[in-house]
Amino acid sequence: YYEMEKVMVAPNGRGIHPMAERGSLTEARVENAVRFLLEPFEKFPLVGEVDRGVLLAALLSAVVRPGLPTCPAFAFDAPTQGSGKTLLAKCVAELACGYAHDGLSPSVWPHIANENEVNKRLDTIAMAGHGAAIWDNILGTFDSPKLAADLTAPAILVRAMFKQTQLYIPNRTLYLLTGNNLRLGGDMPRRVLTCRIDPQEPRPDARRFDFDPYARIASDRMKYVAAALTIMQGRQEQEGSWVPSGMGSFEEWNGLVREAVCWVAQRGRDGAMADFGLDDPAKVIGDQADQDPEVESLVDLVQGIRAWKGVGYANAFYAKQLKRIVDSVRRGEGEHNEWEEMVADAVTGWVREPSANNIGKALGYRIDRVVEIGDQKFRLRRGKKEMLGLPFWVEEVART
């Protein structure tokens, strides 16, 4: 497990609260710490146990992010505006940085779609040394290759403005995303943990609360920091592991934060501690991957090719053939089979100008990526160049 001695905490607040001596921490004290840490968020309409697990993981990560080489991002998602996503993200950011102590507010960055501008903003955040950054109100599908790479990088290489020099910037930012019906694309689904909020009201912004969760965190931040550390200390003093694999690139975070959440969840189910309705935060990754539009379009292509050509090298096809199908569907010529429309929709979602060359490149980017259809697994394969071009085919992958 991850040694607590390695963890750095940046207090930035008054009133450092003492921790229990190693070996003397009781589960009752851990239970009280969990209850205290989650209390400001009890009025947020979290959807399920995994969402509550993600929230607890975000709170623990906020406290120890400076001591972790890598850390996943956390997203707060809801069906409509005014649900409390940004407020929740601000609470986590305040716990991470203690902005209120310096008379400041958490950094909130409005969403932008231009990839070049996104990359510049990420470099700016890194160079400024923000402990937490809120990427607010994301529209549609969010796929940032740079952010996906930054999340798994202990340091980031950036070029100094107006200079020909490059800098290695330590990467210790906790990224918090918000959006309405947020969807993640590319490598983002396995590097972002999403917490879903659903007020189930037409005007959630009109709700009234008798307390301010952000004010609570800001006024007693160090007590909440101590509670988070107590939870992780409780897990570290136990033997064995409670966590399955599945969070690659975040090994130290997995051993410190995720194991603590899963341990609390398991002790609640066992009856040794109160059941706070938590579950493994990493379980959200599978659902996010299934909703990735990239995966959906690849599944459509594979299904269309199976209906058209079948499976195996003997049933290979070429980019030129796909171009003819796409052109015919786009022009609305005659009747088209369902598989033709599936193939055309998939291809046109990948390329703006469906030339044979562009289609071939788009297929090449997706070679060997495995998709599941029912209880079967398939992948797209590519052979050596022939007179008609590069042959592609669909191959069934044997389950291990």
Mean pLDDT of 114-124: 90
Q: Which pLDDT score, from 0 to 100, does residue 139 have?
A: 84
Helix residue spans in the chain (DSSP H): 27-38, 49-64, 85-97, 115-128, 145-151, 213-219, 221-236, 251-253, 259-270, 284-290, 293-308, 319-331, 338-350, 356-364
What are the Cα distances from residue 183, in Å, to 79, 163, 293, 329? 12, 37, 8, 28
Q: Evaluate whether 147 touches 175 at the Cβ level (below 8 Å).
A: yes
Determine the pLDDT at residue 15.
Answer: 60
State the pLDDT at residue 231. Answer: 95
Cα 134 to Cα 76: distance, rounded to the nearest angstrom: 10
Q: What pLDDT, on a 0 to 100 scale, did the predictor assign at position 245?
A: 64
User: What's the pLDDT at 330?
Assistant: 84
* Beta-carbon count within 10 A of 399 CB: 8
At 1 the pLDDT is: 36
Residue 60: predicted pLDDT:
98
At 163 the pLDDT is: 63
Q: Is 50 exposed, middle or buried (0-12, 13-18, 19+ CB in 10 A)?
A: buried
What average pLDDT does range 118-146 have in this prediction? 90
Give the pLDDT score at 66: 92
Q: What is the largest distance, in Å, between two alpha-carbon atoms of the chain?
A: 77
Which pLDDT belongs to residue 400? 65
Residue 209, phi-psi category: left (phi > 0), alpha (psi -120 to 50), beta (remainder): beta
Q: Using a pLDDT cut of 70, give the percent of the chain over it.
A: 90
What is the per-residue pLDDT for 3? Answer: 46
- The arithmetic mean of pLDDT across residues 321-341, rounded, is 84
How large is the C-alpha radius of gyration of the chain?
24
Whole-number pLDDT of residue 184: 87
More confident residue, 316 or 208: 316
Pairing state between β 376-382 and 392-397 = antiparallel
Q: What is the pLDDT of residue 95?
A: 95
Do 235 and 27 touch, CB atoms closer than 8 A? no
pLDDT of res. 217? 94
**Are the CB atoms for 179 and 137 separated by under 8 Å?**
yes
8 A C-beta contact, residue 58 and residue 50: no
**Phi then psi dihedrals of residue 207, to 5 deg:** -65, 150
**pLDDT given for residue 6 in this prediction:** 46
Q: Using the predicted structure, report yes or no on whether residue 147 has a pLDDT greater than 50.
A: yes
Among 337, 282, 211, CA closest to 54:
282
Parallel, antiparallel, or unpaired for β 108-110 and 132-138? parallel
Q: Are the CB atoms for 37 and 59 separated by under 8 Å? A: yes
Q: Is the pLDDT reported for residue 243 higher than 80?
A: no
**Which whole number is the average pLDDT over 330-353?**
82
Higher pLDDT, 2 or 295: 295
Which pLDDT belongs to residue 216?
Answer: 93
Length of the chain: 400
Least confident of 53-67, 98-112, 201-215, 226-240: 201-215
Q: What is the tens place of the pLDDT at every residue in 51-95? A: 999 999 999 999 999 999 999 999 999 988 888 899 999 999 999
As a whole number of angstroms, the distance between CA 113 and CA 81 comes to 19
Q: How far apart are CA 133 and CA 90, in angstroms?
A: 9
pLDDT, average across residues 13-32: 76
Who has greater pLDDT, 344 or 287?
344
- Between CA 98 and CA 271 the distance in angstroms is 35
**Predicted pLDDT at 290:** 65
Average pLDDT of the segment spanning 127-155? 91
Identify the pLDDT of residue 131. Answer: 92
Distance of CA 386 to the CA centre of its chain: 41
**What confidence category does residue 117 fall into, taking pLDDT thresholds of 50, 70 and 90?**
very high
Looking at the predicted structure, is the pLDDT value of residue 211 above 90?
no
44 class by beta-carbon count within 10 Å (0-12 exposed, 13-18 middle, 19+ buried): buried
pLDDT at 150 over 80: yes
30, 32, 46, 274, 282 from 35: Cα distances, Å: 9, 5, 16, 9, 22
Which of 291-329 are b and which e, b meaning 16 or more Cβ less than 10 Å from the residue's Cβ?
A: bbebbbbbbbbbbbbbebbeeeeeebbbbebbbebbeeb
